[in-house]
Amino acid sequence: MINWPEVMRRAEAGNPKPPRRVEKTPEAWRALLAPEVFEVTRLAGTERPFSSEMCSRFDAGKYACACCETLLFDASEKFDSGTGWPSFTQPVDAAAVAYVGDHSRGMMRMEAICAVCDAHLGHVFPDGPPPSGLRYCMNAVSLQKAGA
């Protein structure tokens, strides 16, 4: 189970090697992705809070990266954080998500990215429910239901 000290350690010392890599030029990503998905995942944008019905949906299933279809989260780890973005307590695999220190907006946050294609997913915070204590605050457009 990933916890906050491990997130910090990975951001500082390096993330584990992902099982595979998907790399494309910005032009190739732009041609492949819807404009709002490109903005969030490739340019580290943020969707408006409460702009997706994914926040209030708790259907069983798994969520994958909208760019490379890497499996990222299981719905069993999803919870209502009240923040306006889909939130999870753990990734489905410890190597699926990588962490990068984000010093933008005058604060220190921990960016969560897809370990396979470097897509910006959102941020992880140490204020989630037990047992991990983590809140993966994800942009809904960065995720897709697996198999969808």
Supply the residues annotated as catalytic: 137
* 137: three-class secondary structure by DSSP: strand
Residues 78, 80, 84: CA angle, nearest 5 degrees: 110
Omega prior to 131 cis, within 30 of 0: yes
Calpha distance 128→142 (Å, rounded): 20
Residue 22's H or E segment, with its range, is: none
* Neighbour tally for 43: CB within 10 Å: 11
What is the residue-wise DSSP string for 76-111? GGEE--SSSS-EESS-SSTTTEEEEEE-GGGS-EEE
